Amino acid sequence: MTIQTAKLSNPAVRAFVTAVNAHDREGFMTLLAPGATMSDDGADRELAEWIDREIFSTHGHMEVDNESKDGRALIARYSNDTWGEMRTRWSFVVEDDGRISRFETGQA
């Protein structure tokens, strides 16, 4: 059962998923706090290079199946042109100003 993006409870996470699905790199970058970091399958990655390779140059798309931790943790079916579709987990650290300072993803 997919959760509509508009119904995701955390505004920053909702905007993150919206930007990914709209292929809006500029909008995506405005959601991130200065110096934001991320990890993929437990390994820290260089954020700009990773998002270009895994999201924006490969038409990344998220279909959220579940949210928890006040909307800051997701289980989603993630697809892109490189890997096809996989079940993934996402967690977010959202700062007081509403921007994301870290996100972690990996296979669920």
Q: Which long-range contacts (CB under 8 A, 24 or more apart) does 39-48 make?
A: 39/102, 39/104, 39/105, 39/106, 40/104, 40/105, 40/106, 41/105, 41/106, 41/107, 42/106
Domain-wise residue ranges, the chain: 5-107
Identify the CATH number of the domain defined by range 5-107: 3.10.450.50
Query: Looking at the predicted structure, is the pLDDT value of residue 1 above 90?
Result: no
Determine how many CB atoms are found less than 10 A away from the CB of residue 19: 19
At 86-104, the pLDDT tens digits run: 999 999 999 999 999 999 9
At 58-88, the pLDDT tens digits run: 999 999 999 999 999 999 999 999 999 999 9
Percentage of the chain lying above the pLDDT 70 cut: 100
